[in-house]
Homo-oligomer: A and B are copies of this chain.
């Protein structure tokens, strides 16, 4: 039911968290795991904490950079606990789960480093940020616990989801196609002197946000 959704763990330090995340995924029917530059993997501690979910670790895809984990994806969301300098469209886990079921697309859910989360650059690759609602005085969720909450919402929402998908004829452009577009756009904006490379400010980030909101289709 959720084959189109992959979990992407970025630059995880502790292999135990990778194993515990795999177990959390499997309890909720998710099975596709991408690992971007994990510090230690494969690893016996990861296997120990995966318990009956070692199969997910065995078929996990390890890639050196984020691109390898999202290039073919049409919807990219990143988990974030902080409000960033440049505001971004923000969903609760439940709102995301409803969206994911209303229109199934190849989806990547990014989880950042244990200590510092996702970088701004990684977050700027996302259509939406997901913020798990937490105690304002203590928002420090364990990585696997965050995976558990998101996976639980996807599963629980699927049980009540409206089975009629959104009507829409065209597939969304994937991350790789959009990167090609941004690269071209940036060049053109420099050629016409709209973007000053000596003082780019946040122009490209703001344009990314605009196009991610518009969510262009393939054509």
Contacts and interface: CB of A to CB of B under 8 A. Distances in A.
Contacts of A51: 140, 142
A124 interface: no
Q: Most B CB atoms within 10 A — which of A51, A93, A149, A155?
A: A149
Interface in A120-152: 132-135, 138-142, 144-145, 148-149, 152
A132 B152 contact: yes
A147 to B, nearest CB: 9
A204 to B, nearest CB: 34
Given A148-B149, A149-B148, A156 B142 contact: no
Copies of this chain assembled into the complex: 2
A24 interface: yes
B26 A142 contact: no
B27 A138 contact: yes
Interface string A12-47: 000000001001101111000000000000000000
A92 interface: yes
Given A23-B140, A140-B51, A142-B23, A134 B149 contact: no
A69 interface: no
B27 A156 contact: no
A70 interface: no
A140 B23 CA distance: 8
A214 interface: no
Contact of A27 (B20, B92, B139): B139
A140 B27 contact: yes
B134 A28 contact: yes
A94 interface: yes
Nearest to A29: B135
Given A133-B152, A133-B155, A145-B145, 13 more contacts: A20-B142, A23-B145, A24-B142, A24-B145, A27-B138, A27-B140, A51-B140, A52-B140, A53-B138, A132-B152, A134-B155, A144-B145, A148-B148
13 contacts: A23-B140, A24-B142, A28-B135, A94-B156, A133-B156, A133-B159, A134-B155, A141-B148, A144-B145, A145-B148, A148-B148, A149-B149, A152-B152
